[in-house]
Each structure stands twice: as structure tokens, then as C-alpha cells.
Amino acid sequence: MHCHSPEHLSRRALLKGTLLSAAGGVVMNWGGLTTQRAFAEEVARQGKHCIYLFMNGGVSQFETFDMKPGRPTGGLFRPRSTNVAGTQICELMPKMAQKMDKIAVIRSMRTSEVDHPGGIYLMHTGYRPAATVRFPEIGAIVAKYQGKAGADLPSFIKVSSVGDAGAGFLGPKYLPFSVGSEGGLPPFSTSSLDPQVEQRRHELRSFVEDRFAAEHRVDVAKMHREAYEAARRLQGVKEVFRIDEEWEKYRDLYGDSQFGRRCLLARKLVEQGVAFIEVGQSSYDSHADNFAWHKGLVPPMEHAWAGLLTDLEQRGLLEKTLIIWAGEIGRTPSINNRAGRDHYVRSWSTALAGCGIKGGMLYGESDEDGEDVKDKPVTEGDFFATIYHALGIDPTAENFAGVRPVPLAPFGSKVVTELFG
């Protein structure tokens, strides 16, 4: 059976949607086929959001959350105490040191893609690249289950970030809407026409499309109309992306940096009901001069991250907003002859906050030199299963890629339940 609809059905819903007739034939039980939509509607009613702070290039665990002072792999920076007794992080992160009670750090990531393209794909989809399946990004999944149909703002927005898996087999309805590094809207988002002229054109276009739809059932035509309607709705909410006036008030909280501005925009988008926002910071691929790069990149990042946590908490939004902090890979324990660290995935770090995540927690442990996971390894599948669980989405729920059922998190993935309070 080939599923043509963009609203893919889970295998369980499909089985519930069929009945055996007396002659042994299969007929459809349309009541059962509402299961998947009902599940998505129930999830959406929870009103949860997700902000993914993506550290493109692969931020070093040794220069952030998993320091090894006094060891050959330790590097140049010193550890500093935090507001959680007995927990230390890198001295480059003074603001986050006072927010450790709000976040959970996973120090035992072990993933399967060591290069950038594969790692970026993996840490956006939960799956390794495959020749036969186009897996959707986590933002597309969250948009499907947490997004609001017909909303003025897109449900999946990327701010200066990477990852090109897009909506995968979910279809164009769940593609990301991308804005530039300064939060600027793309050219197509603004009409150059007089509003009255644009309205007349819209009415004529709608008339022609209605007539066409009455005589033809073509998915491409439907997708075109949905995209056009979404672009028109965006015209009324463009002010959300303009943060200059608000920035004067919040510059000190977020830090005077581009990443700080992006995080402020992310908070505004959460307030406006956007389900998933990805905010990127690049240039962590420090094969040379690792310590200089991190000294330049980490302070503005951690300042903005701490400001975002404060802002969301003060507005009562943190309990329903999951913040993910991760890159596509970690960095090697060894320091090469160019003072750099190379790619590494046998043991590295990520972090989560909000949406029921237990703050002040260090989960898992690397060995004394950070070369391998010593305790409680977490795979990419476990990581994504945990994220979906935090957002109220069943990680075992399935969508169809053609006739193949695909769970949101890979088969065998486990939710890290210890991370929840």
C-alpha cells in the first residue's frame, strides 16, 4: 500500500483501520484511521516548544562541560565552580556556571557519524544518512505534532543554522522557514505590489485554483496553494522578526553578539507560538588553534544561552520549552601539532533544559582522559527519544516512507528517564 497523503499513518493506526470481512477481504475502518491525527492534536494541545542551539562544526566537550584538568588531554583552560555543589565547568562559561541548576548535561554521548555531513544529518534526524529514505529533521517532526495548522507564523524556523534534511518524507508542508544571521526575512516574504493590487491577484488566483482543484486531484497544486497561503499569512506578522527596539532593553541579558540577537528572536518566536526554532553558531571545527577559537566563540554563546534561560523562566515559558544544546560531533582528547582537536564521537557532551528536565544533573561519565564512555552511554537514538519524550511525543510513533514504517527514534532507542524530575 502506498500512502499518498502527507499525513502519514502509523502502522498501528493502519492495523486499527482495517477490518476483515466475512469473505476474508480487507475493508477500511475509517474510525480507526483518525488515531494518528487525534494523537497529533492531543500533543499539540500541550503547547510545548523547542529551541535547538546548534553548535556547527563540533564544539569541544573539553572546553565546555567535560574538563580533564591535570591530564594530558586537559588543554589550557581551568575549571570553575558552579551553583551546583561539586560540579565544575570551563572557566569560559561564567554565566552558565550560575545556571547549572537549570540544565542537565549528558557527558556520555556515543554516536555513529564522525564527519560533518553525516554528523549534521544524524544530529538533526536521529538517523544515519540512507540511500533509500529521506528522514525528516526533528524540527519537521515537532512541527507536525506540535505545530498549529493555519498559523500566521511557520511552525519550524531556522535562524542562521545548517542541516539540509528538511522535511524528508513528511513532505513540503513541514519544511523549515529559514532567516538570515541577523534574523532578516528572505526577499520572497515581502510583496512589492500595492495591497489592493495584490488582493485582486489573490482573488483571481484563488478562483483559477478552485476551478482546477474541482477537476483535478494533484498534490503539487495543493502544495503550491498551501505555500502561497502561508506566505500571505506571514505578511501580517513580519514585525515579530524585527528586534532592534527590544534589543536595546535585552542586550545586557543576552550579550552584545549576533548569537545573542538570535536567541532573543527565538524567545519572541516561542511567545508567538512557534513550535520549533533552531539557532546556529558556527566555526567550531577547530583542527588548528582550538583554544583560540573556543576563547572567541564560547563566551558570547554561553552569555546568550544563560540569558535565554533567564528570559524564558521569568516569562513562565521554560517549563513548556525544551532547550537542546549540541553540535554534530565532539573533539578529540588528543591535541594535535597545530594546537587543534579533531573529530571525535566515542565520548562527547550535549545538554538539555526545560520541559521537565531535571536541572543540576550530570548524566553519564567519560574516563579519566575523555577517550571513552565510562558509564551510561547515550546513542543518537536515545538522545532523540529523550527529546521527543520531553515534548510529549511518543518516540515509537511511526510515519510512512512509501510503504516503510519509520519510528520517530530508531528501533531500540531508549528514553533516558533519569533526566526527568
**Residues 366, 108 contacting (CB under 8 angstroms):** yes
pLDDT at residue 322 in the model? 98
Spatial distance between the Cα atoms of 94 and 80, rounded to a whole number of angstroms: 8
**Residues 392, 328 contacting (CB under 8 angstroms):** no
pLDDT at residue 316 in the model? 97
Dihedral sign, CA of 107, 284, 303, 158?
Answer: negative
pLDDT at residue 236 in the model? 80
Q: Which residues of the chain have pLDDT under 50?
A: 1-34
Question: pLDDT tens digits, residue range 179-189?
Answer: 988 777 777 67
Nearest CA among 241, 134, 258 for reference residue 185: 241
Q: CA torsion, points 4, 120, 296, 257, in degrees to nearest 10?
A: 0
Contacts of 210 (CB under 8 A, 6+ apart): none
Q: Enumerate the H helices of 319-391 as residue ranges.
A: 380-390
Strands 404-407 vs 398-401: parallel, antiparallel or unpaired: antiparallel
Helix (H) / strand (E) containing 51:
strand 49-55
pLDDT at residue 421 in the model? 85
190-194 long-range Cβ contacts below 8 angstroms, 24+ apart: 190/235, 190/238, 191/235
**Residues 399, 89 contacting (CB under 8 angstroms):** no
Phi, psi values for residue 399, rounded to 5°: -120, 165
Contacts of 223 (CB under 8 A, 6+ apart): 171, 172, 173
**Residues 32, 16 contacting (CB under 8 angstroms):** yes
Residue 79 grid coordinates: 575549571
Place of cell 557527558: 107
Spatial distance between the Cα atoms of 236 and 369, rounded to a whole number of angstroms: 54
Spatial distance between the Cα atoms of 133 and 320, rounded to a whole number of angstroms: 32
**Residues 174, 230 contacting (CB under 8 angstroms):** no
pLDDT at residue 75 in the model? 97
pLDDT at residue 18 in the model? 39
Question: pLDDT tens digits, residue range 22-38?
Answer: 333 333 333 333 455 66
pLDDT at residue 38 in the model? 60
For 148, which DSSP code?
-
